[in-house]
Structure formats: structure tokens, C-alpha cells
């Protein structure tokens, strides 16, 4: 089951699907450019893969039947706080929310360019759902769920892939978010869009988690 990040759509996963050589699985969709689809679930035990906001969403809403998670360019908290100085200042997210009221396409295109992609948007930007996604980035905190005792209890086994050159989620943010119970695989030349730039590395991590979680 794939969960994309802010400013993207399910087509984001096409390179990984190709690298995996599989056509099965379910794409969830925050509805940033079309209809929302967040309630669907595979009919059998599955591995969940989340990118950026999608990773945070999985940590906050671990789906029933999930036997493993692969979190790509992910985090347990995004916005800075007194006990989380590694995060992004909340005012930055607030300005983006305000900008969506005037020109949502420009806000999303600016973010995507900073993340490393200049392609056109996959559809008309849905300002309300994009603002709700930014509110999640500003407000949500999944760090309590990552207590070492929780891994394997309330949360399934997980792996984290991160880019050392990520301009959105810094290496310091990644290290601060995840406990020693969650291994981090670093991609030395990777940025924020590992599923697009390094699909083979992502697919290998998903395959390893599938073998671990499903015995496949």
C-alpha cells in the first residue's frame, strides 16, 4: 500500500512499481489534485510504503493488516518545537497555507521545484485538501509512537530511507525523529524524491520488508 507525500499524487510511485515488477497493491490518495482516496486497504496482510507526509500519516494511523512499513524521506514530526529544534519553523508552513488561498498552483510548484522536480502538476491544485495536508505537517507528532517498546507492539517493523542531500527533510531531522530501534538507510547522493531518483534502492528496501513481514 503506497501513500504519497504533500504536493504529489499516486502517479509518483510509477518508477518504484516498475522497479518492483509488480502491478498489485493499492495507492492511497490525499486528493491534492483530484478525488480523495484514503480508506482503501488491501484484502490481505501488506507492507505500507509512505513518502514524506505519507510516512507521517502511516505513523499516526497505522493500518490494520500492515506487517511492515518502509518510510522514504519520512519523519515523525515536521514542524519545529521547543523539544524539536531540527524541524521546520511553523511560520514557514503557515505562510504556505496562506498562499494557497491566493494561488495554490504557485505554492505547490514552488515546493516541488525546491524538492527537486520541475514537471507540471498532475491536475488542478485542490487548495482545501492541500491546506489540510500542511496542517498535518504543522501539527502532527508521531514521536511518542516510536518508543522502542512500541516497535513490534503498536507499530509493525519498519525501515527508513533518507537522502543525505534532502533539502526538505534534513539529515539532522531524520536522525532526531527515529530511535535506535528504527534502522536508517542513507542514500549518499539522494535528495527528497528518492522514489523518483533512486527507485531501485527503494524497491530493494520494499522487497526486503516484504520478505520479512510476509515471508515472501
Confidence of residue 172 (pLDDT cuts 50, 70, 90): very high
Q: What is the dihedral of CA 24, 25, 31, 32, to 10 degrees?
A: -80
User: How much of the chain exceeds pLDDT 70, in percent?
Assistant: 97
At 146 the pLDDT is 85
Q: How many domains does the chain have?
A: 1
> What burial letters (b/e) apply to 38-65, b meaning 16+ CB within 10 Å?
eeeeeeeebbbbbbbbbbbbbbeebbee
**Phi, then psi, of 154 in degrees rounded to 5:** -85, -20
Helix H or strand E segment including 47 = strand 46-51
Rounded average pLDDT over 64-93: 96
Confidence of residue 196 (pLDDT cuts 50, 70, 90): very high
Average pLDDT of the chain, as a whole number: 94
2-59: pLDDT as tens digits:
999 999 999 999 999 999 998 888 999 999 999 999 999 999 999 999 999 999 999 9
Whichever domain contains 53, its CATH number is 3.40.50.1820
DSSP letter string over 98-129?
HHHTT-HHHHHHHHHHHHT--PPPSS---HHH
H helices, E strands: number in the chain? 8, 6
Task: Look up the pTM and report it.
Answer: 0.95
131-151: pLDDT as tens digits:
999 999 999 999 988 876 556
At 24 the pLDDT is 84
- The whole domain housing 26 covers 2-214
Rounded average pLDDT over 160-179: 95
Amino acid at each position: 500500500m503506497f501513500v504519497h507525500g504533500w504536493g504529489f499524487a499516486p502517479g509518483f510511485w510509477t518508477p518504484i512499481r516498475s522497479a518492483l515488477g509488480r502491478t498489485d497493491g493499492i495507492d492511497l490518495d490525499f486528493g491534492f489534485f483530484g478525488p480523495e482516496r484514503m480508506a482503501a486497504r488491501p484484502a490481505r496482510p501488506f507492507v505500507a510504503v509512505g513518502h514524506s507526509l505519507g510516512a507521517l500519516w502511516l505513523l499516526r494511523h497505522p493500518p490494520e493488516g500492515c506487517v511492515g512499513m518502509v518510510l522514504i524521506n519520512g519523519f515523525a514530526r515536521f514542524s519545529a518545537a521547543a523539544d524539536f529544534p531540527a524541524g521546520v519553523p511553523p511560520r514557514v508552513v503557515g505562510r504556505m497555507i496562506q498562499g494557497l488561498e491566493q494561488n495554490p498552483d504557485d505554492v505547490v510548484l514552488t515546493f516541488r521545484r525546491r524538492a527537486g522536480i520541475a514537471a507540471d502538476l498532475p491536475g488542478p491544485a485542490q487548495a482545501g485538501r492541500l491546506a489540510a495536508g500542511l496542517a498535518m505537517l504543522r501539527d502532527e507528532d508521531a514521536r511518542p509512537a516510536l518508543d522502542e517498546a512500541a516497535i513490534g507492539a503498536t507499530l509493525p517493523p519498519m525501515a527508513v530511507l533518507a537522502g543525505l542531500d534532502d533539502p526538505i527533510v534534513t539529515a539532522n531531522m531524520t536522525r532526531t525523529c527515529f530511535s535506535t530501534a528504527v534502522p536508517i538507510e542513507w542514500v549518499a547522493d539522494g535528495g527528497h524524491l528518492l522514489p523518483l531518483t533512486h527507485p531501485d534502492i527503494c524497491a530493494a528496501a520494499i522487497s526486503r520488508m516484504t520478505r520479512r513481514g510476509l515471508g515472501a
